Chains A and B, each alone.
Chain A
Amino acid sequence: MSDNKIVQNKKWVLRADNLTRRYGSGCAYCSTITGPDHDTNQCQICNTVIACSGISFELGEGETLGIVGESGSGKSTVMQLVNLSVPADEGELWYRQSGEYDKEPLNLLTLDKFKRRTFRNQQLGIVHQRPELGLNMNFTVGGNVAEKLLMAGWRNVGNIRQRASQLMELTELPPTRLDDDPHTFSGGMLQRVQISKALSSNPSVLLLDEVTTGLDLSVQARVLDLIKRLQWELKIAMLVVSHDLGVIKQLATRTLVLKNGQIVEHGLTDQILEDPQHPYTQLLVSSTL
């Protein structure tokens, strides 16, 4: 493992070391002429886009880590890398079970496709900005929540429906609408369905990708309240990606600030919002309406 650690936390469940993702062939100059100092993440020589580079962090047990930055800063790429949906070009992504801190961690990037999918299903839950990315709109709400359970080998329809109803109650959705079409649900309700689906397999890490973007303010507040309650009740580790500093302030205890694919500042969320050090972070904080 690399020594490039951002926070020394012995009780981490997920740890990234120098994660890098490029789109393009890459050249010898890519790393020297891209990044926040050059105000671009595209190599002017080979046109490779360095979506993210040298991303390192630790996510502690029950902790919420925020990732903030403007559009194109690499937030969603980091989320995709952690969700194992795209391969990393460089770096390592370590995982260890909650409470098993003496055991050798597992490098997720070395897993084969089958094990990755199994891991993603059992240990990760993701909530996308757009519900249609996380839900199959041709299935009922219950069918969507049931998908992860069926993937985990549940084969009893009665038990599946009982579990799905429990999850709907947990996320403040009426269980009577279990067999309804997702098209009949509002945006905020669909985010709750996504959260129900993500929580169905009792994951170790919940990934939230711009969960409140596109929702009106009152619905945003209710979704954020729900996430905070789940965080408190389930003690689940969360990685929250948002360009909205208000969301990060509400949910995250620590925050990484990304610009042009690289981390420019990191620390406690309060500290970053109250006393930003990097000019880019200062700009972000001052731009808040």
Chain B
Amino acid sequence: MQSISTKDNISVRIKKDRIFLGLVVLLSVVTVSPIVLIIFKLIAKGYKQLSFGFLVEKMPDTMQAMTAVTNNELIPGGIANAILGTLLMVVLASVIAIPVGIISGVYLYENQGKWMANLTRSVSDILQGVPSIVLGLISYIWVVKHVTHGFSALAGSVSLAIMMLPMIVRSTEETLKMIPQTLKEAGLALGIPYWRVLFGILIPTGFSGLMTGILLAVSRVIGETAPLMLTALGSSVINANIAKPTSAIPLVIWEFYNDPNMVDLIWSSSLLLMIMVLAFNLTAKQIAASRK
């Protein structure tokens, strides 16, 4: 351990202490200021456009948008195609990732310390660190090229599902670890079959923990753009066919950003996306807090 300089007299040392505290508070405020600035900016520029029609109407084409902008009117139409596309892909990704994630989490919990479980856990951690654009490439190679033979909602969902999977695995295992062993032992002692102990006792007991993990995973993938650019591509019509190109809210934001006529729509779309992300995120936090 370094020796503390004793040359300074006490008043200098106290002054240093004060200055440091001031710096810490100042820098902490600077750190969180972007979240406030961003949300205010989105509200200020986006609220006008955000109406019921924005949620249920189809995307305008670039000519309609241009006419509206030159007449100083609000751009007509909405982003219903994108909202439904996001819902479709996130639901499909959840359907793929949640069962696999929960069962794998149970497997890891039941096989603590065994090498196969350790390997699976490490690989799952590695998957969590893979950049989302690489997951887009992978889903392009697997699904776009070989399954749907073209850009598709399914390909988008697969890339999102691979992203959600490690988060769900981890939160499932962490949740189960916090459940008292006695609960499981009591179930087994009563002669309840192993699978019912796992899925009838452990999982329901940890339900709120699992929900937290799932909601956080959804809030993370709902705003993903890069992997969808490589897989779902986007579409200006409402599409319910998982083998066809599909739009999503982040994808239309990217389209609007690149189209000078539609650029006014980025703020309302981003505001809507942000509301969805925050809703999932804060609900997850609320559930987690109420458990304690």
Question: A and B from one assembly?
Answer: no
Residues of A within 8 A of B (CB): none
Which B residues are within 8 Å of any A CB, using their own CB?
A: none
